[in-house]
Amino acid sequence: MAFKFEKLKIWNIALELAGEVSELVKAFPKDEMFILTSQIKRAADSVVLNIVEGSTLHTNAEFKRFLIIANRSALEVISCLYLARQRKFIDDKLFEEKYNKYETLIIMIQGLIKTLN
């Protein structure tokens, strides 16, 4: 592993979750392709990409700024999960599983942010 972000546990978890989201939305209706499907995938990918972008910067303040964006994107994924459940694209069990994973990731991101203060 040549890059700093590859060693970050939060990046590895975010990457795995982005893959899970990508698989999850395959079951969404086709008429949601450019709406909720696109939004949740972009939010999940944004978590991964902002962790990477922040980790390549030279100051803790810059890294913290990108982690805050990643955190917001993870919260956006949770909001999308609520919409998917409300529209009956996912059941309660699947909602809880993904919700819990993103909640854990958010806690980890927030913990890292606190260490950078």
Integer Rg of the chain from CA? 15
Instruction: Sketch the domain layout of the chain as residue ranges.
Output: 4-115
Name the DSSP class of 117: -
Task: Give CB contacts under 8 A, 24+ apart, made by 26-34.
Answer: 27/89, 27/90, 28/84, 28/89, 29/89, 32/87, 32/89
pLDDT at 99 exceeding the cut of 70: yes
Instruction: Single out the residue of 1, 37, 32, 33 nearest to residue 22, CA to CA.
Output: 37
5-30 confidence digits (pLDDT tens): 999 999 999 999 999 999 999 999 99
pLDDT-based confidence at residue 1 (cuts at 50, 70, 90): low
Determine the CATH number of domain 4-115: 1.20.1440.60
Which of 60, 61, 72, 56 has the alpha carbon at shortest distance from 109?
Answer: 72
